[in-house]
């Protein structure tokens, strides 16, 4: 039975992989046949050549963006957990802050980033803050939803056992909210790289966003596509890592 499930999963994964490579082949043949200039649409082979010839520069810029993203995402998790915990213990805080936090998410990242660059300079601070402002809310809202969605019977059981608020939170609310928390973290991990890259577009000396802007200005679209692929790849790696971490932690509970 287990082998059948594994075989089924492998077959299911082959469909998107086959589709992806089919698109690449059609893309390569179409652009080559129509003789489209590389400054308009590069071929997949052009992009691969870019990775081969400029991998050291791409690696250097990737390290900068990765650092900004990891720091920003880590701070986002910490802030979300702290605020979510405070909201659970002090309900009036939730009533005061929750609507305001919704408003912050209605402001596009592209409008926040220039202000952060002006206020905090072209260094890593403005990029990290942009990631934090973009990512903490999805984590927070899923964390609080996880706490609010706990079955009342469980809460009543802890009340009957005369468990304190702290013990109820540690032994019931936090473990039961982990599933939702990781859902928010997965969503935020996809936003994080976008936020860091957008912040780099608007000012900085290094990072994939900076590299992308320079490449765009010189009409080197193969470099732009290479940066885009890296951002997507890093996002996918983060998502996979979070899913693995989720499985490991949920097993303990």
In this prediction, residues 124-149 reach a mean pLDDT of 87
| CATH architecture label of 38-251 | Orthogonal Bundle (1.10)
Tell me what pLDDT residue 28 has: 82
Tell me what pLDDT residue 78 has: 93
Please provide the average confidence, as pLDDT, over all residues in the chain: 82
Give tens-digit pLDDT for 50-80.
Answer: 888 888 888 888 898 899 999 999 999 999 9
Pick from 80, 132, 84, 120: which is nearest to 203 by CA? 120
Contact present, 197 and 213 (Cβ < 8 Å) = no
In this prediction, residues 26-55 reach a mean pLDDT of 82
Contacts 24+ apart (CB under 8 A), 76-82: 76/131, 76/132, 76/135, 76/136, 76/139, 76/188, 76/192, 77/136, 77/139, 77/185, 79/132, 79/136, 79/140, 80/136, 80/137, 80/139, 80/140, 80/143, 80/184, 81/143
CB count, 10 Å around CB of 27? 15
Q: What's the whole-model pTM score?
A: 0.82
Radius of gyration of the chain (CA): 22
Contact present, 60 and 214 (Cβ < 8 Å) = no
């Amino acid at each position: 039975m287990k082998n059948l499930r594994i075989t089924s999963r492998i077959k299911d994964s082959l469909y998107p992989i086959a589709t992806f490579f089919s698109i690449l082949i059609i893309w390569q043949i179409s652009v080559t046949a129509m003789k489209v200039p590389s400054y308009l649409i590069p071929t997949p082979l052009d992009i691969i050549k870019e990775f081969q010839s400029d991998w050291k520069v791409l690696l250097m810029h990737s390290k900068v963006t990765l650092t900004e993203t990891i720091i920003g995402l880590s701070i986002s998790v910490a802030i979300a957990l702290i605020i979510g915990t405070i909201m659970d213990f002090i309900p009036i805080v939730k009533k005061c802050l929750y609507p305001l936090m919704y408003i912050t998410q209605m402001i596009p990242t592209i409008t926040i980033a220039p202000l952060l660059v002006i206020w905090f300079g072209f260094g890593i601070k403005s990029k990290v803050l942009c990631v934090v402002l973009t990512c903490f809310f999805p984590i927070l809202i899923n964390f609080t939803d996880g706490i609010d969605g706990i079955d009342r019977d469980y809460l009543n059981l802890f009340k009957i056992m005369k468990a304190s608020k702290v013990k109820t939170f540690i032994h019931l609310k936090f473990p039961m909210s982990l599933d939702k928390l990781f859902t928010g973290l997965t969503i935020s991990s996809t936003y994080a790289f976008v936020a860091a890259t957008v912040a780099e577009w608007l000012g900085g000396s290094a990072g994939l966003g900076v590299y992308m802007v320079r490449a765009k200005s010189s009409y080197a679209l193969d470099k732009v596509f290479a940066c885009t692929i890296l951002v997507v790849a890093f996002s996918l790696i983060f998502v996979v890592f979070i899913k693995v971490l989720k499985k490991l932690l949920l097993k303990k509970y």
